[in-house]
Structure formats: C-alpha cells, structure tokens
Amino acid sequence: MAIVSFHLNSNLYLRDPQSSTLGQKIIQSSIKMIDKTGADDFTFKKLGSEIGSTEASIYRYFENKHRLLLYLIDWYWTWLEYKIDYKIQNIASPIERLRMCIRMLVEEKKTDPDIPFVDEQRLQRIVNTEFEKTYLTRQVDTDNKEGLFLPYKSLCKKIAGILKEINPQYPFPNSLVSTIVLSANHQLYYAQHLPSLTDIKTESRQKHDKLVEFLETMILNTINTKIK
C-alpha cells in the first residue's frame, strides 16, 4: 500500500481506487496506457485486458473514462501542491517562494517512492496533453458545480496569493496565474511537437531552466508594471 495518499473529491469515483490493490492497478495502468496512446483511444475494455480484470470491475470504481481522467489530473495537481507546500514552507521571501513554485510547475517530475502506484513523470505528460480536454466540454458547468476542478483552483489560488504579497496593488493575480500554469504546459508541449511556436528547445539540457526564466520574467515584469 502507498505510504502517502490523498483525499480527492468523492464525486470523481464510485469507489476510491487508492483503497484497494485493484484500484491502484487501475490507476497505475491507466496512466501508462493514456501516456502511450492518449485519452481518446483509451477504453475500459483495453484497461481490463491490461490488468487481467473485467470491464465491469473498472466500472465499480469509475463511472466513465472522463471521470477517470479527471481523477488522474486532480491527483496530479493535489500532489504538486503538496510538494510545493513542503518546499516553500520555510522561505520567507515571497519572490523566492514564487520562483520555487514556477520551478516546480515546470521541472520534469520524478517517481515519488512514497506513492509506488503512480508514475509522476508519465502523469506530467498526460497533464500537458490532456488537461484542457477535461474542462473544454459541454458538461464543464456540471463538473465545476461538483467540485471536480478544485485541486487546480487551489494551486492557482495559492500562487496568486504569493503574487498579492509581492504587489498587493496588482489587479489580476488569478488571471495571470491561470495563464502562467497553462503556458508552462503549452510551452513544453510546443517544444516537443510544434517547435516553431516556442523558443524552448527539447534537445537542450537547460530547457526547463529556460522555461523557468521565461515565466519568471513574464510574471515579475507584469506585476511590477504600473496599471494606468
């Protein structure tokens, strides 16, 4: 069993997959399969075959694959906020806390030994490619009312709070942070698939450092600009 677990919104699932060996296998294998083939080609039938179980057994945990994808992405944002909280807890300077947040948003994730059924490196790639599919849907308002985007909102709110410490007069902290978080995902995706849209180069060993520099510059120049 995992040493660390997170309590996610119960509307995401029918049975908490962290609570059983089968549920953890569902999470572990779905991450591997979605990373490999994408969410569009992923099905519960294929997942059942992969884990040696039945399609029906997976439906006992998740209503559909949309809820499973939301679960995985909510888990990622919850885990990332947990890691950020640990890193910034003893940093007094809000600018340094902001820089740490940006770096942790961007840096390539490594497998967390405290959570053996989740491959955070693969999950980061899923977030980069699939996150926007979870809310660019016709049911987004219903999903939002059920609190299915709270982990993402919580992380953005935390970083926006740091921006307000740096410049309490800046009027758009939430807008800027949500733009920056998506930009971090977009730039990494562009670097790999649409390189003419970014100056971040996948072959560069410093690609994450360059992206951190770009995002830091964007944020700090923006919030220190006087709004007329």
Span 75-93, pLDDT tens digits: 999 999 999 999 999 999 9
- Quote the percentage of the chain above a pLDDT of 70: 96
Residue 152 CB burial class (10 angstroms; 0-12, 13-18, ≥19): buried
Domains of the chain by start residue, with CATH: 10-223 (1.10.357.10)
pLDDT at 93: 95
Residue 2 has pLDDT above 70, yes or no: no
Q: What per-residue string of b and e applies to 71-83 under the rule 16 or more CB within 10 Å gives b? A: bbbbbbbbbbbee
pLDDT-derived band at 204 (thresholds 50, 70, 90) equals low
pLDDT at 3: 58
pLDDT-derived band at 206 (thresholds 50, 70, 90) equals confident
Q: Within its chain, how far is the Cα of 189 from the centroid?
A: 14
How far lies 177's CA from each of 13, 27, 162, 180, 223, in Å? 29, 29, 10, 5, 11
C-beta separation of 104 from 96 below 8 A: no
pLDDT at 4: 67
Q: What per-residue string of b and e applies to 11-31 under the rule 16 or more CB within 10 Å gives b? A: ebbeeebbeeeebbbbbbbbb
Span 153-186, pLDDT tens digits: 999 999 999 999 999 999 999 999 999 999 999 9
- Quote the percentage of the chain above a pLDDT of 90: 86
Span 97-131, pLDDT tens digits: 999 999 999 999 988 888 999 999 999 999 999 99
pLDDT at 223: 92
Across the chain, what does the average pLDDT equal? 93
The CA-to-CA distance between both ends of the chain, in Å, stands at 56
C-beta separation of 177 from 60 below 8 A: no
C-beta separation of 54 from 48 below 8 A: yes
Q: How many CA atoms lie within 13 A of 12 on its CB side?
A: 20
